[in-house]
Structure 1
Amino acid sequence: MVRKSPIAQGWTKPPSGFICVNVDGSIRAPSGLGLIGGVFRDDSGSWLLGFQQTMGIATAFTTELWAIWTGLFLAWENGFEKVQVQSDCRTAVDMVMDGHAPSSPTPLVRAIAAWRERSWFTEVIWVPRERNITTDKLSKSQNCSNRDLTVLDQPPSFLFSCLHRDRTGAVPPS
């Protein structure tokens, strides 16, 4: 029997000079409401901003695409010029990074491709779920009655230990 070694938890640092946008989408059971969230950090791991939104009834895959789109939208709106989006949905990453994304039959993939074609440098990469825990917690924490995009200038207190672990690789003392 082959044993897989565990994947280290924590954050995947972007290249120097890049802003990292970790994104995640999920579905709240049993309502089927789609939830998205994102965390923006500089290349040292410092919080820049975050976002949350309830999307309405959706599929898990659609929420992942909306999270990528929203991350790129906010990155552009905030003037970031070098952006690495990190998602734990390999299918979504593969679709948006495919050379045929601008002509995809999926409108949201085409919309993401349009953001990426602007005058800036972007890449969308896959990261293991274990390296996206902070964003997963953020996306799942929201109040589903609010459908507006919420931009967070400061991290919510429930993310402090996750952010500390991401930056240092250690869990802070309680």
Structure 2
Amino acid sequence: MTTSTGEREETIPASQSWCPPPEGFLKVNVDASWIKDNPFCSIGCIVRDPQAVVMLSSCRKVLAPTPLIVETLAIREGALVSHNLGWNQITLESDCKVAIEACTKGKKVGEIKPLVQDIDNLQQQLQHCELRWTPRSSNKVSHLIALLGMQNLLPPGWLWNPPRALKEALIEDARCIPPRAN
């Protein structure tokens, strides 16, 4: 199967879910929502610690002509937020394999080259910033943030009172956290 960004989807076990970052790190998950013939797109970002505590969550609309550009903008947004807040040890995940490979393996993709250069510059300013591809099943929360934002379904204060689907996805992700030893 081919996605809207032209990448081939791999068969991923349905049970694969979000995994927390190692101690001392934060995990930044990003995604984008794009609708053909609509100049506005939406970027979703969520930052969580090893106990799945939400440190930051954001959604914003941007202008982008292609899905690949908006997915790469989402990656840059995650790196930029981390840099601006002084979070120097992050794992940044996106479910857009083409954009991640352009950033990590130097695969040349002309339309996103300037964005990839920005992301590389931000990475160099962080102590540790690992970019990783993750399947959609592990990226549900940022996907929902982008999708709901695109549909104007995120009310003011949505992080404190999230829509039901978003709340359920956050709870599901937190289930993977082992209980703390006393």
TM normalised by structure 2 equals 0.77
Quick one: structure 1 residues 29 and 71, their matched pair in 2 at CA, closer, same or farther if it must change by over 3 Å? same
Q: Does 1:62 align with 2:74?
A: no
Query: Hey, what's the Cα distance between the residues in 2 that align with 1:152 and 1:75?
Result: 21
Aligned partners of 1:107, 1:135: CA distance in 2, in Å?
Answer: 24
Residue 28 of structure 1 aligns to a residue whose secondary structure is coil
Number of paired residues? Answer: 160
Aligned to 1:92: 99
1:27 corresponds to = 34
Note the C-alpha offset of 1:79. Answer: 1.4
Partner of 1:156: 162
Whether 1:75 and 2:82 are equivalent positions in the alignment is: yes
Question: Residue in 2 aligned with 1:132?
Answer: 139
Alpha-carbon distance, 1:12 to partner: 2.2
- Percent identity reads 26
In structure 2, give the amino acid aligned to 1:107: P
Residues 64, 70 of structure 2: 8 Å contact kept? no
CA contact (8 A) 1:23 1:68 kept: yes
Aligned to 1:14: 21
Q: Secondary structure at the match of 2:121?
A: helix
RMSD: 2.7
Unaligned runs of 5+ in 1: 170-174
CA–CA distance in structure 1, aligned partners of residues 112 and 93 of structure 2: 23
Structure 2 CA distance for partners of 1:89 and 1:105, relative to 1, 3 Å: closer
Structure 1 SS opposite 2:50: coil
Report if aligned partners of 2:31, 2:94 keep a CA contact under 8 Å in 1: yes
8 Å Cα contact 2:25/2:89 also seen in 1: yes
Q: Is the 8 A contact 1:12 1:127 kept in 2?
A: no
